[in-house]
Amino acid sequence: MTKATPSNPSKGEPLVGLAFISPWLIGFLLFMALPIAMSFYYSLTHYTLLEPPIFAGLENYRALLGDSVFWTVMRNTVIYAVIAVPLSTVIAVGVAVLLSADLPGIAFFRASIFMPAIVPLVAAAMIWSWLFNGELGMINRVLDAVLVPLNAVFGSSLQGPNWLGDAPWGMPALIIMSVWGIGQGVVVYIAGIKDVPAELYEAAELDGISAFGSVWHITVPMISPVVLFNVIVGMIGTWQVFAVPYIMLGASGGPDRAGYFFTMYLYDKAFSFGEMGYASALAWIQLLIILAGTALTFLASRRLVHYTAA
């Protein structure tokens, strides 16, 4: 009986594999790697789109340090990220815990909380612009219905704020809208909660731990990798926010540029003022900030995130 010898792989197989992945490679090189390299080169130049770029070294980056608008958009974006991401995370986890129960009709509420995630941003921004309207908006009408009796009792003259017309109220309006869009995160949290072993809850119940204690000591640690994922995605999203403040507060971000964010400034520099080199420098600063924020989040999560064994 002859022993079969293992066949040697053909020398042409690597080429066949490259041929199969060549559409992806070509797409990556043309639409990802090349634009990234060009963006970095343009960030080192003075480039107006209508004339050839002129090499300027690090001049664009040095100019950022003395740009007051740059520091304004940095402050606004940091404030928005620091408030919106934690607030949305806490509310989304709480809602997910409530919606993870197997109760009659719970599917309707899960679908309802997810519904805002499929609404186009432009349409959602237009709807919230009307809701936040200082004179005719539903939010102020509800507030007035509550404040009118209080004003009569205490002799005060409180009224709903001019959300989109007064500088201090533009940022709270955007944060409220960001909380409205937690549906996608809630769905992910529900999936994570469903994977928590039921034995842990049974043991907690036998030990006399309350429902809140079970959530805090079991649910939250067990879904902490999911929380970390959503926090990082949310942080990246806040540094790229553009359409909603642009529509609700205008191209300038409202009074005193209170709602003027990083990406809005980048867009204006590139397409409104034609300073593509300066805009490219802004884009690279934005990338470095996102990478640094992601790295710091991973470092801070080492003692907070619990990974179960596979």
Instruction: Give residue 5's pLDDT.
Output: 54
Q: What is the DSSP letter of 310?
A: -
Q: Which of 63-77, 194-208, 225-239 has the lowest mean pLDDT?
A: 194-208
Average pLDDT, the chain: 91
pTM exceeds 0.85 for this model: yes
| Residue 191 in this model has a pLDDT that exceeds 90 | yes
Confidence band for 2, pLDDT divided at 50, 70 and 90: low
Look at residue 309 and tell me whether its pLDDT is greater than 70.
Answer: no
pLDDT at residue 150, as a whole number: 83
Between vectors from CA 12 to CA 9 and to CA 17, what angle results, nearest 5°?
95
Q: pLDDT (tens digit, 9 = 90+) per residue, 162-172?
A: 999 999 999 99
The CATH architecture of the domain made up of 72-300 is: Orthogonal Bundle (1.10)
Q: Where are the domains of the chain?
A: 72-300
Cα–Cα distance, 242 to 214 (Å, whole number): 39
Other Cβ atoms within 10 Å of 54 Cβ, number: 10
